[in-house]
Amino acid sequence: MADTPVFEFSPAEIQEIQRHVAKYPESRSAVMPALWLAQEKFGWLSPEAMQLVATTLDLPYSHVYGVASFYTMYFKEKVPKHLIEVCTCFTCSVTGGPEMLDYVKEKIGADAKGIGKDGKIWCRAAECLGACDTAPVAQITNRRYVHNLTEEAVDELIERLNKDEEIPFSSIPLKNQANFES
């Protein structure tokens, strides 16, 4: 039988949330960072995790749920550890985004929900990720971008995620780094 998580924040996590609360005139404005912290802790936002955020911030559950359900970066169901979101908006679309998404799906053996056969990686299309100049681009688990996607870059990315390796902050290939030098 799997361990049932205890839905509570540690004193350090509460302190972190209070740092966010202090930035705003109303505590409800800290709901997004509190949801983020809960998702980081529990892996997804179950009703219990959302209730914990509501209780911690003294907010109605409906407010917390409304925020969590509006944004795609908050996961409302249990999901694999790693997410590869490939931009398929206009610029990424014309530079190969949809083909890269299909390649990711093929490489991980994705089912209809985009979940890989080993259950460790999932993928989905993303709306504009704001990196049109380095298209096609992917975002990795709401954190890192991989620019100028190629099949080789996807292969390396999947290999690293399968090993639970950290993805570097910027994955712009060295050949393109000259564009950013003064």
Which pLDDT belongs to residue 182? Answer: 31
Domain ranges of the chain: 11-70, 82-180
pLDDT in tens, 136-163: 999 998 888 999 999 999 999 999 999 9
Determine whether domain 11-70 maps to CATH 1.10.10.1590: yes
To the nearest whole number, what is the mean pLDDT of the chain?
89
- 11-70 and 82-180 agree in CATH topology: no
Q: What is the pTM of this model?
A: 0.79
| CATH among 3.40.50.300, 3.40.720.10, 3.40.30.10, 3.40.50.1820 for 82-180 | 3.40.30.10
Q: Is 93 exposed, middle or buried (0-12, 13-18, 19+ CB in 10 A)?
A: middle
Which pLDDT belongs to residue 93? Answer: 94
Residue range 77-96: mean pLDDT, rounded: 94
